[in-house]
């Protein structure tokens, strides 16, 4: 009878130890899950803020576009681009170089934002 009580006590002790171990794991895992939940909440807030900023940027860009050119001006610019495109294609197809008029070159460097090699700049005088 004594052996049975010792064995049952040992099983009870083992059960308590296992329970304590599982509770410890549960607590650590719970803390990590809470931290992960907090990080996910922060990410959601940041994503919401980004969406708001992108929306306002989209609104500003559309306003800028609306104020930039009228539909007639857009069509005129596109007609000019198409004209130059057709002319350049005819003049340059199969060639290794192209020629631009001075006016075309000035427009190109202005749009591309590169220095105009035909105009002196203040830095050249220094």
pLDDT band at 80 (very low <50, low <70, confident <90, very high): confident
115 Cβ neighbours under 8 A, 6+ residues apart: 109, 121
**pLDDT tens across 94-114, in order?**
777 777 788 888 888 888 888
User: In the block, which residue shows the tokens 């931290």?
Assistant: 35
Question: Does pLDDT of 16 surpass 60?
Answer: yes
69 Cβ neighbours under 8 A, 6+ residues apart: 77
Mean pLDDT score of the chain, rounded to an integer? Answer: 79
Please give the average per-residue pLDDT across 18-46, as a whole number.
83
b (16+ CB within 10 A) / e for 42-81:
eeeeeeeeeeeeeeeeeeeeeeeeeeeeeeeeeeeeeeee
Verdict on whether the full-model pTM lies above 0.75:
no
pLDDT score, position 119? 78
End-to-end CA distance of the chain: 109
pLDDT score, position 96? 77
Distances (CA, A) of 30 to 12, 15, 19: 26, 22, 16
The two three-digit tokens of residue 82, written as one number? 């198409």
Please report, for the chain, the start and end positions of each structural domain, with discontinuous segments joined by +: 1-68, 70-126
Is the separation of the CB atoms in 32 and 40 below 8 Å? no
pLDDT band at 124 (very low <50, low <70, confident <90, very high): low
């Amino acid at each position: 009878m004594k052996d049975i009580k010792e064995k049952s006590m040992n099983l009870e002790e083992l059960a308590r130890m296992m329970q304590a171990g599982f509770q410890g794991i549960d607590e650590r895992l719970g803390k990590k899950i809470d931290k992960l939940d907090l990080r996910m909440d922060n990410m959601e807030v940041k994503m919401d803020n980004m969406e708001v900023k992108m929306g306002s940027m989209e609104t500003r860009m559309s306003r800028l576009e609306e104020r930039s050119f009228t539909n007639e001006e857009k069509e005129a610019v596109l007609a000019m681009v198409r004209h130059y495109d057709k002319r350049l294609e005819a003049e340059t197809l199969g060639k290794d170089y192209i020629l631009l008029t001075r006016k075309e070159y000035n427009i190109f460097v202005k749009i591309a934002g590169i220095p105009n090699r035909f105009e002196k700049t203040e830095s050249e005088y220094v």
